[in-house]
Structure 1
Amino acid sequence: MRLLVVADSTHSWPEGADGRYDLSVLVDRHRPGVLLSLGDFSTVHAAVMARSGAPLLAGVYGNHCTQDYMPQYGITDLVGDRQLPARHTTLEPPGRRAVTVLAVQGCVRYKSDIDDVLFTQEQYDAAIDPLPAADLVITHCPPAGINDAEDHAHLGIAALRRWVDRHRPRWLLHGHTYDNPTMSKHGSTTVLYIHGHAVLDLARV
């Protein structure tokens, strides 16, 4: 499955002749089955995704996503509820094999803001611990101890680390943090860090 994944920043997004962001350039060049957002975007960015021509748009919200912009722009919200930290679901690109997914949104609560998508470690525990195995993890925030940081805003999710160690998914995609290797391994799981955009062939990693 080929994915065009975007996360956190537009610094690497191509621009059209009019100076506006134009993801259709990447869609035309790479022919991804899915344009996948890992969050921290707005309605402006969602409109660019909607114009991309990708056959399927999907994603999770990041902690700075203050609006429910995905449904308005035809983007499948893989969690589907801003009050729910995580959900077990399926990613089904047209004409391609479905992949089981653990979708995780937001990040660990580090402030009292009620508009941002933030959860306590205990809320992540309750949501993630009971969920079954999946091939692919799509998360804004990484698991604890995997590409996270010590500052409160970029702590990893403890329950997600336990879930990954227990179920050993094939792939884990995340954004949110900074200056990580684009690809690493945690046991048998391939960890893919995205900041800006990346084109991924999951069968090859």
Structure 2
Amino acid sequence: MKILAISDVPSKLLWDESVRKRLEGIDLILSCGDLPKKYLEYLTNFTTAPILYVHGNHDGSYKESEPGGCICVDDAVYVWKGLRIMGLGGCNRYNRDDTFQYTEAEMRRRVRKLWLAARRAGGIDILLTHAPASGLNDGTDKAHKGFQVFNDLMDQYQPKWFIHGHMHLNYGANLPRVCTRGGTTVINATERYEFEIPDPVQVPKRKLFGWG
């Protein structure tokens, strides 16, 4: 399965007449936020791959109307062809604007609400967020500080991939595009990053109560 992760900066290579060719063979597009609605909608015209997205802190316009033809997976555990994706958009609160900003406590409450959905899915394969995890290639300023609860999610569910945006690669020379934390591959999706994963194995849904 070939996945295209995008975030924050529209790619000049995708926003032109060559886009159809560049999207050939892509099975799934994951957006980590802070992209113009018209950019996501433009991409839907040139691919049959679903575009799943979470909100970034500059996506206030999404509150009026979400990107057409795309699927919001914010605050959800979304299963696509057996691939289990937990979506948690937004960043650390740094001002009073209501633009998908959250304190650590608020993000933890969002995570708790997804516990049952993750359990019924039998876990998660991809953690899809806008912000990074605390201490994992995040920033020192309040706006770019990562969330500790994302580290906790990786420890608890051990997803194969953690895909985030928010940290533009030009923010620092030491920011890696790809790194690892335990058994999780961490990908900074800024602009665009293409990668392949094994076709997921269908996992039976768990019963509402208990695992049996």
Structure 2 length normalisation: TM-score?
0.79
Aligned to 2:23: 27
Distance 1:147 1:138 in 2: 16
Distance 2:23 2:13 in 1: 12
- Alignment of 1:181 onto 2:176: yes
Aligned to 2:128: 138
1:138-182 alpha-carbon deviations (Å, 9 max, x no partner) = 111111111211111101012111111222111111110133212
Distance 2:86 2:127 in 1: 5
Which amino acid in the other structure matches residue 166 of structure 1?
A: Q
| Residue 6 of structure 1: how far off its partner (Å) | 1.1
Q: Is residue 62–residue 140 contact of structure 1 (8 Å, CA) maintained in 2?
A: yes
- Select the residue among 122, 127, 139 that pairs with 2:105: 122
Gaps of 5+ in 2: 170-174, 200-212
Distance 1:63 1:201 in 2: 28
Find the residue that maps to 2:61 and give its secondary structure.
Answer: coil
| Residue 196 of structure 1: how far off its partner (Å) | 0.8
Distance 2:54 2:65 in 1: 9
RMSD of the alignment, in Å? 2.1
Aligned to 1:111: 95
- Alignment of 1:56 onto 2:50: yes
Find the residue that maps to 1:203 and give its secondary structure.
Answer: coil
1:113-147 alpha-carbon deviations (Å, 9 max, x no partner) = 12x21111111111214623311111111111112
How many residues are matched?
186
Aligned to 1:171: 161
Q: Is residue 142–residue 156 contact of structure 1 (8 Å, CA) maintained in 2?
A: yes
Distance 1:89 1:2 in 2: 18
Find the residue that maps to 1:144 and give its secondary structure.
Answer: coil
| Residue 11 of structure 1: how far off its partner (Å) | 4.4
Aligned to 1:153: 143
Q: Is residue 12–residue 197 contact of structure 1 (8 Å, CA) maintained in 2?
A: no
Q: Is residue 169–residue 189 contact of structure 1 (8 Å, CA) maintained in 2?
A: yes
Distance 1:33 1:173 in 2: 16
Aligned to 1:82: none
Q: Is residue 3–residue 200 contact of structure 1 (8 Å, CA) maintained in 2?
A: yes
1:75-101 alpha-carbon deviations (Å, 9 max, x no partner) = 00012xxxxxx33222x1xxxx32111
Q: Tell me the percent identity.
A: 22
Max radius of gyration: which structure? 2
Distance 1:145 1:70 in 2: 34
Question: CA distance change for structure 1 residues 187 and 173 in 2, over 3 Å: closer, same or farther?
Answer: same
Distance 1:45 1:167 in 2: 32
Gaps of 5+ in 1: 80-85
Which amino acid in the other structure matches residue 16 of structure 2?
A: G
Q: Is residue 84–residue 124 contact of structure 2 (8 Å, CA) maintained in 1?
A: yes
| Residue 36 of structure 1: how far off its partner (Å) | 1.7
Aligned to 1:83: none
Q: Is residue 129–residue 165 contact of structure 2 (8 Å, CA) maintained in 1?
A: yes
Question: CA distance change for structure 1 residues 34 and 66 in 2, over 3 Å: closer, same or farther?
Answer: same
Q: Is residue 176–residue 188 contact of structure 2 (8 Å, CA) maintained in 1?
A: yes
